[in-house]
Amino acid sequence: MAAAVLVAKHAVGPLAENDVGNAMVSVLKTTPVSDALGAEVTGQDLSRPVVGTLKSEILQSFRDHHLLCFRDQHIDQERMYDFASLFGEVENHKISLGDGSKWDAVHTITNLDADGNPVAKPFINSNYFWHTDKSFLATPALLTMLQALELPPKGGDTQFADMTKAYAALPADMKRRLDGLKVVQSLEYMRRFTGSAPPTADDIAAAPPVAHPLARTHPEAGAALLERVPELESLAPIVRQHHERLDGSGYPAALSGEAIGIEARIVAVADVFTAMTSGPEALTTEAALDALAAASGTRFDAAVIAALEDIAGPRRTPGAVPQSAARVRT
């Protein structure tokens, strides 16, 4: 499971004394839950607005602990969507269900059949295996947010692993072997390997195989490393911002527009273009440029994409609608 925010649904507990009006408590209280990862957040009511510095405190705590658990909460799907939006753009689902429909951005996951009886194998059971969420997309999910609605008396645990600590514990020679390696992530292979329902042709077209580094570095961690090296310190802002998006939907700071340095905007486009055009079943240059063009001026800098088109492929007619833009999420 990827990094996550867990919302435990129980009776809402008492608020801290410094609660003001209808807003959430402005001081975040966290308690680590293990030596590996994770922290419990107390004294907050997620049904209330986030004010003051609380957003930055939540984001920083998420970066520090990778897993946050907000206990004693009771929020509806609309409020869950709003809270998830604090971390970035909430992703819509592309993959079809058995009846051809698609999940909403906030949806219910269950192991019950149509008659309300537990089943050992639901429609999709790939989440029974260790995984990073949405790794088969060009831009994988930053986090998954879960709210426990009904739990069995025992078993059924959702487990998490801190891959940063796992990587740090590797011998130096193994790290050198992994350095620079890429892996091809495939929705179709994942579905078939895990015994889930086979993907449709539209599913495969919406999420074609994509190559990602075997060992990825979070922009905050990468920037912190560069800041320790005087000769590379000037590159830290580029690394820190290259997952930001023009419309403010990126991370780690949800910057937008000109607040994102031009160098970071260039790296953002190059990073996504490389991911889409790498691997044995990579998109063609034209298809990758189409996908980027669909997000030109919204998620990515239009001038940077135009410059990439000059280098990698023909410039499109202004206003033209790319036919394959819907194939890849950028």
In angstroms, the CA 75 to CA 279 distance is 42
Predicted local confidence at residue 68, as pLDDT: 93
Q: The whole model's pTM is what? A: 0.64
Domains of the chain, start order? 172-327 (1.10.3210.10)
Sign of CA dihedral 318, 320, 321, 322: negative
Is the distance from CB of 305 to CB of 114 less than 8 angstroms? no
Residue 324 has pLDDT above 60, yes or no: no
Q: Report which of 170, 71, 192 is spatially closest to residue 126, judged by C-alpha positions.
A: 192
- How far apart, in Å, are the Cα atoms of 141 and each of 3, 28, 234? 9, 24, 28
Predicted local confidence at residue 103, as pLDDT: 78
Residue with structure tokens 């819509």? 92
Q: Is 269 helix (H, G, I), strand (E, B) or coil?
A: helix
Report the range of poorest mean pLDDT among 4-18, 212-226, 277-291. Answer: 4-18
Model confidence at 321, pLDDT cuts 50, 70, 90, reads very low
Question: Using alpha carbons only, what angle is made at residue 315 by residues 309 and 316, rounded to the nearest 5 degrees?
Answer: 125
Predicted local confidence at residue 122, as pLDDT: 65
Average pLDDT of the chain is 79
Model confidence at 15, pLDDT cuts 50, 70, 90, reads very low
Report the range of poorest mean pLDDT among 233-237, 261-265, 279-283. Answer: 279-283
**Model confidence pLDDT, tens digit, residues 197-206:** 778 888 888 8
Q: Report which of 4, 72, 59, 2 is spatially closest to residue 28, judged by C-alpha positions.
A: 59
